[in-house]
Structure 1
Amino acid sequence: MTDRSHGISPDRLADDALRRELAHLHETRHDTVLGGSESALRAHTERMLALEQEFLHRFPEAGAPDPMRTRAGSRESAGQPVRGRDRG
């Protein structure tokens, strides 16, 4: 018998269902952290990480950092030289 206590396996969800479940978990995260039991928080975290991992696997471009949120991009925008270790 399959354990479905944490929902359908992320790799079996359609794209729209994956996005919907991930959004819902992000919406409920704060309440789970503040008011959930230790086991509820653990289950929430495991499910959230599994959904996020599957999302980034399917949509890697969605997880790429905005260049302005990296050190190199910020320095480049400010006209400062970009150091070697900050690239990428």
Structure 2
Amino acid sequence: MELIEGIPADELADEDLLRELESLGRTRVQTLRHGSDDALHMHTERSRELEREYLRRFPQREIDPQRTREGARAEG
């Protein structure tokens, strides 16, 4: 695995992990539109790292029915 800036995901407290994920979500479009290729690659890799850790910690996460195909179709 290549070097990713920041504290390794598995060393973050739950609240810090969530804060990091939210921060990356807010900055994604700006990085995509205006960041260098290296910045975009780093952003993508960090996102993957944090998302994998979230799913490892919370495998039974609550799924919002509206965020599924069936739920979205039922609403429409």
TM-score range for the pair, normalised by the shorter chain length: 0.7 to 0.9
Give percent identity, aligned residues only. 46
- Give the equivalent residue in structure 1 for 2:32: 33
The 3-state SS of whatever aligns with 1:60 is coil
**Number of positions where the alignment pairs a residue of Structure 1 with one of Structure 2:** 72
Write the mapping of 1:1-88 to structure 2, written as runs, cut at 5 A: 6-62=5-61, 65-67=63-65, 69-71=68-70
Cα distance, 1:74 vs structure 2:
6.9
In the TM superposition, structure 1's runs of 4+ consecutive aligned residues that sit over 6 Å from their partners are none
Task: Report which structure shows greater RCO (CA 8 Å, sep ≥6).
Answer: 2
Q: Please report the TM-score for the alignment, with normalisation by the length of structure 1.
A: 0.68
How far, CA to CA, are the matches of 2:31 and 2:17 in structure 1?
20
Amino acid at match of 1:10: A
Unaligned runs of 5+ in 2: none
Q: Please report the TM-score for the alignment, with normalisation by the length of structure 2.
A: 0.78
Unaligned runs of 5+ in 1: 78-88
How far, CA to CA, are the matches of 1:41 and 1:50 in structure 2?
14
How far, CA to CA, are the matches of 1:70 and 1:60 in structure 2?
20
